[in-house]
A and B are shown apart, each in its own frame.
Chain A
């Protein structure tokens, strides 16, 4: 017993002070890819090498519209190896409230050899609606829904119970979610903890892709969670289906089966990214914008 205490005392405090201080990630970590949209000369090599379709394009009448979908990105960095306009940053805080907020796009006029001549539109990310204002009279149902969510976040913000649901993951996300309970990330310092039943939970932390075999279990788990409830989709697969996409055995992202409040990209998202996403969901930190706009 004394040895246990001595070891704990001699170890000291190992807990990170994130989010008050920046994430403790290596300068070599691969996080959000950054694209020099204005000077991008050719999106085709990056599109071809991207294993999940996170970078894609469409062509119409001499114009190419290129999309970067962070919900699909697995941060492998292969695009940055073939394209100088793309740089991998170690920025891991990518959580977003809406699926569309994870998509950036720009349009280019094309030269005869298929390279970009110049950017004609973008880069743009669709703008999230303001969250905190009370909806005006006659506001849409959607806006009212947003307000109720914001209030729920406030109610749950100081004591949050999370039920983790693996709806099809490869268990990579689970490894990092387990790490939230480690003394290094110590989720309980925020008054947040994991519970054993959805009936005790305020939030479902769901990893995907949602398989056909887990679809019903996920729906039942969602229905068993008392309202107000929040759903956070974790990882590239949870956000979009990831490398698995939609096939005979999977439904794709979590939002294909139950409504999602916050998306946490990554493959898997590291514990900082997970913390940020959970804290965004309860309104205790703000979403960070992709490109300073």
Chain B
């Protein structure tokens, strides 16, 4: 078994400790180890990995394998950041006793994911503190769309069920402020219910999944190459990151690696995506505290990046660039010239924008100590990405699980512990500087060669995890292949799903007028969450 040397000691310890209770241990990739066991082992195995090896449970999902294995499978994906590898625990759930034990009381980070499994597969959650519907709204009929016997095109009857029962917050002077799903700004739909006493927020309840589009089910019906285009539409602001995570998963399942030049071009595009989103967010944060001038400059810079994206890939959001086995287009001298020119122009412009914001004491006053997410809360909720790194989360897949070209370039990962809006802005600011440096280094180190390898038909019944550090945080695509160059399952994990519950914590005690800026400082994707 070919296993990453840093992962080997953990593997030895775990196999020794759990012995016969592990039915099989198999590395499908040097950094991706599958452990099959019985459901009874989940709690103990998880606790052990957390305590002994500092693991993080980064994804929890199910797969309907009743046709092939006579059972549902539950998957628990653990990231062992220090060892640069993943342990994936698979346990069966019998169709006769379609239920699974909840981990939420021990690990709050899996709350929504467990409920989503319950909704989409009809596997009853046992021991969950709040086992109500999450992914399917309360008015949906009793259907389980990710079961194999549910057809994608099923036409559901008009919904007649009940509305969601929010938790009641009572007390003298307490009242409720419902917002959404159609919001006042140009943003995505979701429902927020604030319970307030005067101006400070006592409690915030979130109702998401308004833009659930059946994406994971749809992946199962498309030829694999079409899946790349669908992955681009999981979350538009992360089009390239999601598509690349999908390609990464398929390539790993096929045992193919994208050639070096392709990996370098992927890194260039991922960093361009990071830059335009970070600049847009910095501007939008300023708008939400009434510093509109800064946003106008930010929008102007963002436009410059989008136009370079278009010149490089034919699309402003980098769509159409990703493909299985590499990237679709190589860049010629003219395109590299445009990219270099962007770096030359953007660096001083961005510095000047940051200086403008730094000198605005009113802005600083609104951002500091606003929307604090404490590091211990962030850790409990498994918060990742920008929001995590502003609250002490020292992880970045680019550094800990180098993909694309990230093992060839030098960069630092900015981490703060204050966890306020100002620090979430600061993470973005520092990351833009790092991204500019990464682009420069990548161009310097670029070698000639092909930008894609041909992918043959995909072998059936392979599993693989694809991962990319998108601008918002870590993105995972997990696939199981089926005969005929199709997928039996594609699990998409956007960092937003992980981070939403943290918003409810960060807003506590803040005033409602600060909610827009706190929300924007997280800038989570509704579509990525709801899929």
Contacts and interface: CB of A to CB of B under 8 A. Distances in A.
Interface of A: 3-4, 7-8, 11, 14, 24-26, 28-30, 49, 51-52, 74-78, 88, 164-179, 181-184, 194, 196-198, 209, 211-214, 217, 221, 237, 242-244, 246-250, 267-268, 270
A211 B213 contact: yes
A157 B274 CA distance: 38
Contacts of B69: none
Contacts of B210: 168, 211, 213-214, 217
A268 B299 contact: no
B143 interface: yes
Nearest to B311: A26
10 contacts: A76-B229, A78-B320, A165-B182, A166-B187, A166-B211, A170-B527, A171-B237, A173-B236, A209-B213, A242-B233
B337 interface: no
Contacts of B311: 26, 28-29
The list of the 4 closest CB pairs from A to B, nearest first, reads A172-B236, A182-B299, A196-B184, A249-B214
A51 B236 contact: no
A99 to B, nearest CB: 21
Main secondary structure of the interface of B (DSSP, over half): loop
B387 interface: no
Nearest to B338: A26
A59 to B, nearest CB: 21
Nearest to B303: A184
Nearest to B215: A244
Contact of B153 (A164, A213, A237, A248): A248
Contacts of A242: 233
A22 B215 CA distance: 37
B137 A248 contact: no
Which among B151, B316, B335 has the highest number of chain A CB atoms within 10 Å?
Answer: B316
Contacts of A30: 314-315, 320
Contacts of B343: none
Interface residues of B, number: 66
Which among B155, B280, B314 has the highest number of chain A CB atoms within 10 Å?
Answer: B314
B319 A26 contact: no
Given A51-B229, A221-B182, A172 B317 contact: yes
Contacts of B185: 196
B212 A171 contact: no
Which among A51, A166, A209, A249 has the highest number of chain B CB atoms within 10 Å?
Answer: A249
Contacts of B306: 179
Which among A170, A174, A182 has the highest number of chain B CB atoms within 10 Å?
Answer: A170
Contacts of A249: 145, 212-214
B233 A8 contact: no
Nearest to B353: A7
B303 A179 contact: yes
B297 A181 contact: no
Interface string B187-231: 111000000000000000000011111110110001001100110
A8 B319 contact: no
Contacts of B98: none
B318 to A, nearest CB: 11
Nearest to B334: A28
Contacts, number: 184
A248 B213 CA distance: 8
B137 to A, nearest CB: 6
B218 A8 contact: no
A172 B145 CA distance: 25
Interface in B102-134: none
A164 B184 CA distance: 9
B296 A182 contact: yes
Contacts of A196: 184-185
B314 A77 contact: yes
B139 to A, nearest CB: 9
A247 B189 contact: no
B234 interface: yes
A249 B218 CA distance: 10
A168 B317 contact: no
A244 B218 CA distance: 8
Nearest to A172: B236
A174 B214 contact: no
A171 B106 CA distance: 34
Contacts of A173: 236
Given A14-B300, A29-B315, 10 more contacts: A3-B359, A7-B293, A28-B312, A77-B314, A174-B187, A174-B236, A212-B212, A247-B154, A248-B217, A268-B317
B303 A182 contact: yes
B186 A177 contact: yes
